[in-house]
Amino acid sequence: MLLVLALGFGGIFARLVLLQVKDAAAFQALARDQRVRDIPLPATRGTIFDRTGQELAMSLPARAVFADPYLVRDPRSESRIIATTLGLSAASVFDRLTGGGRFVYLARGVDVAAAKSLEDRKLPGIGFQDESRRYYPAGALAPQVLGVVGIDGGGLAGLELQYQSLLAGRSGRQVIEEDPSGTVIPQGANVDQPPVPGDDLILTLDREIQYRAQVALASAVRANHAKGGTVIVLDPHTGDVLAMATYPWFDPNRLAAANPDNLTNRAVTDVYEPGSVNKVITAAAAVEEHAVDLNQKLMVPDSIDLYGRPFHDAHPHPPEQMTLGDIIAYSSNVGVIQVAQRLGQARFSSYLYRFGLAKTTGSGFPGESAGLLPPASAWSGTSMATIPIGQGVAVTPLQMACVYATIANRGVWVQPRFVRATVGADGQIIDAPSSASQRVVSERTAGIVTRMLAYAVDVGTGTQAQIPGFWVAGKTGTARKVLANGTGYGNKYVASFIGFAPAASPAVVVAAVLDEPITEFGGVAAAPLFQEIARFALSRLRIPPGRKLPAPPHAIPAG
Amino acid sequence: MVIGPLVFGVVALQALVSQSSFRMHEIVRQNAQLQQSYGQLKLQVAQLSAPGRIAQQARRLGLLVPDGGSVHTLDVPRTAGGAQQPTMEPAGFALKRLLGDQP
């Protein structure tokens, strides 16, 4: 009897030693795994505000719903419940639940309340993950500028991509101990690493100006039966982009339905031949270099032959005496070519670079193009005819808007910017540094060219850009498009108008570009678009009208 | 005599700590719910105040955008120059410090 007891106790003791000493570590780990949960805490992505603090993009907690098809017991019934709760198609959920494998997402970015009601059903094989979902509360407002985020919350395009590291923040984790019923054990393991939310961005965009610019652009595209269009509104003194839109656009809240062609911010990434709006560079260079006297009258025919190639003005006219002011006001191609020849290739080409062509603006926007400008050494004989009138050179709309902003800013080029400030995790607002700037032409030259541009709107090709009560300066542009195969020019045009207001004390620069409008002339197609946007921007920013500038010397009687 | 009250004291203290811990857990849960609801409300405000929605509502009410000639600036608080810097709402950003680091 004693022996049996001794053997029994000996066995128990041996087992105890095995459990408590030899296998203790393994069992400890097993027990810990059963009661300790390591929960990743995703960081909240930073909000994107407009310049007045209105939300343009924001993130809210959401949940991903996934399944382990191996553990799903009744796929038909479960797929019905899941589809009803999450608003999905039962057939597609069923396909996923029966598709094999051990992990399949059923839905991403699910509203927390909907996910909770599904979780409460405790369906076998169905799991949940914390994540966040990006919302764009104003819908299709500046979608190509803001960009988009991927399903995993990372920026894929636009400012969402450019500022990914700032917006993303840093994830945290929480380690807790639970009892078998899922209740947290007090004083158990409790490691807390709170997530650090991403910085917020305060953009330079103004939500109201952006909206009105988009409404005007969409309406102008429709009215002119154009293929698309781009508008930019800039503050010429700070480089702040107040609005930027490319039509057609998309709703970033329904990214899956978007046409991939509409995702890019063409105002920054795509180039076009600017046409006559480029003449402002020729005029500014000529004034700065004293290549032409302001009172000097040039005899301008309606066509000129260079290296066997004819160049025409837009409309036939007898040879006429024109000053530089007339040439710009009436957008004479022949006159501009004559001025460029007086300037000479070396001096003229240097101003193209000074005004920021052939290099990115430095805004840092993803995919920004530098434009296309052949080096002066590679110019042909006719380049001194085509480039001064804006053909044979390609620019982004933003580059060209910056050229006019330079004139509006008294000859100083300012780097455009999209972000005014950031807001750190501590709520501190940190202003973005002022934009880089450089003098391109003297204040005097900028003033003279402004008078010419104001005269162009007053009596020249840009009369449809006039704003009642304000004095506007600007220039029309009509450029033939290069054929898709690059072999020459077709019969399709880009019409544009770029200008600023008020002419005497510029507050906004507006670039309006229409792609393939039925009426090719910039003064007819794009100037009214400029007018509508500039008029609203001036009103929104409460800009006083300013005084009228004296007309530049002219040989053609006004009117 | 001494051990009895001591054991009772330790047990009572343990019960208190556990109770507080459960309460804290519940408060953390409520906090998360309130934050979620705060975020939803912020989103709703942003959606309702979006210019597109305001314009749509205005059109439904029969309002029209005035033409250029109808807009007159009567009170000009600043001289001509750069675009006016609109005011921001720092109070909203200050909340980030309080809410941002919550799970």
pLDDT in tens, A495-546: 999 999 999 999 999 999 999 998 767 678 899 999 999 999 998 998 988 8
Candidates A159, A395, A160; CA nearest to A267 is A395
> Any idea which residue has 């998360």 for tokens?
B32
DSSP character for A502?
S
CA atoms within 13 A on the CB side of A73: 3
Name chain A contacts of B103, Cβ cutoff 8 Å. Answer: 41, 172, 174, 194-195
pLDDT (tens digit per residue) in B78-91: 555 555 555 555 44
Nearest CA in chain B to A543: B80
What length is written for chain A? Answer: 559
Nearest CA in chain A to B96: A427
Query: Do the Cβ atoms of A52 and B21 come within 8 Å?
Result: no
CA atoms within 13 A on the CB side of A172: 17
Chain CA centroid to CA A296, Å: 44
Please tell me the predicted confidence (pLDDT) of residue A84.
92
Is B101's pLDDT higher than 50?
no
Q: In 10 A of CB B19, how many CB atoms?
A: 11
Backbone angles phi, psi at A61, to 5 degrees: -60, 145
Instruction: Evaluate whether A336 touches A282 at the Cβ level (below 8 Å).
Output: yes
- Which segments in chain A show pLDDT lower than 70? 181-183, 186-187, 189-190, 520, 522, 559
> Any idea which residue has 């794009």 for tokens?
A526
Q: How far apart are CA B46 and CA A80, in angstroms?
A: 34
Helix/strand number for chain A, H first, E second: 19, 21
Catalytic residue among A59, A79, A276, A332: A276
Contact with chain A for residue B40, Cβ under 8 A: yes
pLDDT (tens digit per residue) in A203-217: 999 999 999 999 999
Of the candidates B17, B93, B102, the beta carbon closest to that of A423 is on B93
Q: How far is B65 from chain A (nearest CA, A)?
A: 10
Instruction: Evaluate whether A500 touches A508 at the Cβ level (below 8 Å).
Output: yes
Q: How far apart are CA A471 and CA A351, in angstroms?
A: 27
Q: How far apart are CA A206 and CA A238, in angstroms?
A: 14
* Token digits of residue A30: 């097993």
Query: Do the Cβ atoms of A186 and B21 come within 8 Å?
Result: yes
Query: Do the Cβ atoms of A184 and B80 come within 8 Å?
Result: no
Helix/strand number for chain B, H first, E second: 3, 0
Of the candidates B17, B36, B103, the beta carbon closest to that of A195 is on B103
Angle subtended by helix axes A75-86 and A90-97, to nearest 10: 130
Whether A276 is a known active-site residue: answer: yes
Q: How far is B81 from chain A (nearest CA, A)?
A: 6
Q: Identify the weakest region by mean pLDDT among A10-14, B53-57, B93-97.
A: B93-97
Q: How far is B12 from chain A (nearest CA, A)?
A: 15
Q: In 10 A of CB A151, how many CB atoms?
A: 14
Of the candidates B83, B87, B89, the beta carbon closest to that of A240 is on B83
Nearest CA in chain A to B84: A541
Backbone angles phi, psi at A475, to 5 degrees: -145, 140
Contact with chain A for residue B55, Cβ under 8 A: yes
Question: What value does the mean pLDDT take over residues B10-19?
Answer: 86
Is B75's pLDDT higher than 80?
no
Q: To the nearest 5 percent, what fractions of chain B are helix, strand and coil?
A: 65, 0, 35
Q: How far apart are CA A214 and CA B72, in angstroms?
A: 23
Candidates A293, A348, A337, A342; CA nearest to A312 is A337
Strands A228-234 and A508-515: antiparallel
Residue A376: C-alpha distances to residues A50, A138, A271, A292, A383 (Å): 41, 46, 19, 22, 9
What ipTM is given for this predicted complex?
0.81
Contact with chain A for residue B37, Cβ under 8 A: no
**Residue of B33, B67, B88 for testing the chain A interface, max A β-carbons within 10 Å:** B88
